[in-house]
Amino acid sequence: MAVRGAFIPRAVYTNSVHALQRTHWCHNVSSLLPFASSPILRRKFSITTPSVSRNVRNDSKGYTTAFALFEGLWEVGITACFVNVGSDHPSIIEAIVKGKRERPAHWPKIITCPSEITAISMADGYARVTGRPQAVLVHVDVGTQALGQGIHNASVGRVPVFIFAGPVPYTESGELPGSRTEYMHWLQDPPDQRAIVRQYCRYTGEIRTGLNVKQVIGRALQFANSTPKGPVYVTSAREVLAEEIEPYSLHQEQWVSIGPAALPSDAVRDISTALVEAERPLIITGYSGRDRRNPGLLVALANLIPGIRVHDTGGSDVCFPFSHFASEGSRFSTHECTKDADMILLLDCDVPWIPSLNPPPKDAKIYHIDSDPLNQQIPVSFFPAHGRWKVDSYTAVNQLFDYIKRDSSIISALKDPKYAARGAARAAVHGARVEKIASQLRLDDKDQLDAHNIGNLLKTSLADSTTFVVEAVTSAQTLYD
């Protein structure tokens, strides 16, 4: 019984904390809700720790946990909140109005979304494009469930998203501001709301007091922004959100995520040597393009070792330009290029091949570089490798590139004419593949349209800056071509 309308219940408190009167649906959401800043049980706290600055400010009146929540989101760099509000959000709505009125230039932009799947999908896309996590606000257990496949996409896509949901109030009879006032407050109280999404999140937490609301946000964002990145989920009840506290801030320079890890020197040597000595080296990548520096770096590596091939699998991020002669294009792990490779470097890739369809030769040397090389959230997942390292892909590829350029024996070996011949052969294969794709675009008078023709029509008709959202699953690989 989710609340989706334009009006929300208003709770009116009398002088007695146990006496609670209720009027239903009497105020529009644009009105300031009185209970969040009610003087009843107003609490003033003051603590000091090395990483916290608490100072009474002129605007401290009405400084609630809910207000501190949005202020904390802004302070960690979140500039947009995609929201779908409900009966757990009166203090949230009051904080939104107060913040937009008092500090419009320093407050997250609020985007109201018609459904939760819209909200998390927009935050997901924003994070993929910018590399910065944004926030999603949903309503109790039903709104959490309505995130649906969106939270799956963010989890397997390694996308940082901050999700906030309010559980139902935990007091029944007006013991605290924010206590239960509606029929659904009993029905929407599951034993463990966070369990609904826990297996898809890097972190789940609860704000139990306004005293550490920003610390909970900071910890959640540390997980969201540390590789492998992903969604985080935080809850807080109406009673907590209505608390008035002293304004405070954190020293954000102390709340950083985990920095990039590098390959050990022996791994750099072994992988570099294997790439150069292999007859048919292959790089398979899936997420490395999320770091915009990686495609250009992989191009430089491919130019340094003529004949190397790069296969892009996954499709969510362009990891290597398809126009480069080293490109094997994009496929969902089913490309034949794996079958003859004698050396394979897996780079930020969940599923490099399908073991029953296109496995590599048994004697191929395989090395795996990834922020999550064991696929820790996938119960059954094994792809053979002679070495695995949990490292940052850009850092690792930079190490390989620098080592190959500086090692005199490798530089001498690359002068062998066979490498130039491999590069020329690879360019010919790539050119033939591009021509084959182009030939499939030509239509005779009696030919029917197919995915090739439609994809080409879109490509030639729309601006280069166009963003394509591909939902044609069975035709996705054709459209990538």
Structure confidence by residue, pLDDT tens digits, 378-422 = 999 999 999 999 999 999 999 999 999 999 999 999 999 999 999
What pLDDT, on the 0 to 100 scale, is given for residue 51? 63
Nearest-angstrom CA–CA distance, 401 and 416: 19
| Residue 454 burial (CB count, 10 A) | 15
Calculate mean pLDDT across residues 254-270: 97
Q: What is the pTM of this model?
A: 0.84
Report how far residue 204's alpha carbon sits from residue 198's, in angstroms, rounded to the nearest whole number. 6
What local confidence, expressed as pLDDT, does residue 162 receive?
A: 99
Counting beta carbons within 10 angstroms of the beta carbon of residue 469, is it exposed (0 to 12), middle (13 to 18) or buried (19 or more)? exposed
Query: What does each C-alpha distance from 168 to 41, 173, 226, 296, 327 come to in angstroms?
Result: 20, 13, 31, 50, 53
Instruction: Copy the structure tokens of residue 371.
Output: 């922020």
Higher-confidence position of 66 and 453 = 66
**Structural domains present in the chain:** 7-254 (3.40.50.970), 265-439 (3.40.50.1220)
Kindly tell me the burial class for residue 238, based on how many C-beta atoms sit within 10 Å of its own C-beta (0-12, 13-18, 19 or more).
buried
pLDDT at residue number 456: 84
With contact defined as beta carbons under 8 Å apart, do 373 and 354 qualify? no
Q: In this predicted model, which residue has the larger pLDDT, 39 or 276?
A: 276
Task: Tell me what pLDDT residue 268 has.
Answer: 98
| Residue-averaged pLDDT of the chain | 87
The neighbour count for residue 344, using CB atoms within 10 Å, is 30
Q: pLDDT value at position 31?
A: 36
pLDDT band at 47 (very low <50, low <70, confident <90, very high): very low
Average the pLDDT over 441-448 and give the result: 74
Over residues 205-209, the mean pLDDT reads: 98
**Residue 38: its pLDDT value, please?**
36
pLDDT of residue 3: 40
Taking 60 as the threshold, does the pLDDT of residue 13 lie above it?
A: no
- pLDDT at 334 exceeding the cut of 50: yes
Q: What is the pLDDT, as a whole number, of residue 74? A: 97
> Mean pLDDT over residues 70-80, rounded?
97
- Can you read off the two tokens belonging to residue 160? 């940082």
* Range name among 51-60, 202-211, 261-270, 365-374 with the lowest pLDDT average: 51-60
The 10s digit of each residue's pLDDT in 116-166 is: 999 999 999 999 988 899 999 999 999 999 999 999 999 999 999 999 999
pLDDT given at position 330: 87
What is the per-residue pLDDT across 88-97, written as a single tens digit (0 to 9) for each? Answer: 889 999 999 9
Q: What is the pLDDT of residue 55?
A: 57
| Cα–Cα distance, 149 to 146 (Å, whole number) | 9
Indicate if the pLDDT at residue 2 is higher than 50: no
Q: Please state, in angstroms and as integers, the Cα–Cα distance from residue 436 to each residue in 336, 363, 443, 481, following that order.
A: 16, 32, 14, 10
Q: Which pLDDT does position 310 carry in this prediction?
A: 97
| Average pLDDT value for residue range 75-93 | 93
pLDDT at position 28 is: 36
- Report the pLDDT value the prediction gives residue 95, as an integer from 0 to 100: 96
Q: What is the pLDDT of residues 164-202, one digit of tens each?
A: 999 999 999 999 999 999 989 999 999 999 999 999 999
- What is the spatial order of strands in the sheet that 343-347 belongs to? 327-330, 309-312, 281-285, 343-347, 365-370, 387-390
Average pLDDT over residues 313-342: 90
pLDDT digits 0-9 by tens, 341-373: 999 999 999 999 999 999 999 999 999 999 999
What pLDDT score was predicted for residue 14? 33
